[in-house]
């Protein structure tokens, strides 16, 4: 009989091997804090390594996205024309809603709302390896990939047999097919590389391998899971010419 603890260990092991959250270089050994880690501040703050972040004094755009406060809006670069907003139900919830917005001459236009799963324990403004929380922040989206063939995205797409997720999830659900399609979220990674790339600019302790991927029907290790249909729709919609970003976090954090 598989216990809840056994399922958790299986999920953690499989994700560390394949990249989601822990990444291929994930380790449980303590490492000295890097300068970037020291600059990140105390838990609860926005991660320091955030390619989409703008200076704190930057004015918020005149147009707004529902649910996003002025500080969050100010982190969306003025050149960005696509913003994927992931709104968690609350800080400790694994349930969220995803909406793709496009900036037009008259403001932001919303696409359909898609249900999604985030990390088991919810959200953190200072994500750490194995904390089972998704990172809060605004991050760029550059790279995609998956086990299946490119469905027609304009993003660079890396197809590989290494996009596999064996084992079961936190609720006993199969992880098979979870990485059929993925989009790398530029948290603690080098943009312009495969989602499988193992480099962690902030160090392994800060986690990594945070992806958008196919929902397996339950909470994730740190990623955001969407249905396979919606992942295909997203991949076909994202356009690097529009400099897409993902705005992600619990409702209260995003409203700041």
User: Rounded mean pLDDT of 79-108?
Assistant: 97
pLDDT of 249 over the 60 cut = yes
pTM across the whole model: 0.80
How would residue 45 be classed by pLDDT, with cut points 50, 70 and 90? Answer: very low
Cα(178)–Cα(162) distance, integer angstroms: 12
- The number of C-alpha atoms within 13 Å of 241 and in the hemisphere containing its C-beta is 3
Check residue 20 and give its pLDDT: 66
pLDDT of 22 over the 80 cut = no
- The domain limits of the chain are 4-25+67-254
Question: Which tens digits make up the pLDDT trace of 110-129?
Answer: 999 999 999 999 999 999 99
Check residue 19 and give its pLDDT: 41
Question: Which tens digits make up the pLDDT trace of 154-172?
Answer: 999 999 999 999 999 999 9
Q: Name the phi and psi angles at 234, rounded to 5.
A: -65, -45
How big is the chain, counted in residues? Answer: 256
Q: Which two tokens stand for residue 126?
A: 């200072």
């Amino acid at each position: 009989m598989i216990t809840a603890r056994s399922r958790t260990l299986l999920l953690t092991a499989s994700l560390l091997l394949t990249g989601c959250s822990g990444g291929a270089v994930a380790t449980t050994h303590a490492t000295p804090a890097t300068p970037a880690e020291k600059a990140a501040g105390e838990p609860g703050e926005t991660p320091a390594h955030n390619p989409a972040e703008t200076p704190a004094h930057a004015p918020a755009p005149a147009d707004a996205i529902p649910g996003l406060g002025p500080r969050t809006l100010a982190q969306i670069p003025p050149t960005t024309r696509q913003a994927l907003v992931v709104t968690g139900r609350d800080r400790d919830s694994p349930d969220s809603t995803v909406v793709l917005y496009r900036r037009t001459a008259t403001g932001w236009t919303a696409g359909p709302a898609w249900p999604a799963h985030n990390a088991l324990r919810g959200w953190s403004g200072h994500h750490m390896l194995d904390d089972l929380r998704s990172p809060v922040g605004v991050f760029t989206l550059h790279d995609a990939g998956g086990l299946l063939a490119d469905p027609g995205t304009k993003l660079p797409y890396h197809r590989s047999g290494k996009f596999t997720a064996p084992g079961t999830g936190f609720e006993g659900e199969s992880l098979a097919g979870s990485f059929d399609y993925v989009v790398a979220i530029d948290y603690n990674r080098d943009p312009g590389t495969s989602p499988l790339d193992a480099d962690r600019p902030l160090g392994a302790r800060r986690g990594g391998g945070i992806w958008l991927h196919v929902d397996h029907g339950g909470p994730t290790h740190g990623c955001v899971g969407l249905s396979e249909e919606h992942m295909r729709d997203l991949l076909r919609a994202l356009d690097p010419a529009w400099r897409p970003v993902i705005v992600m976090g619990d409702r209260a954090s995003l409203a700041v």
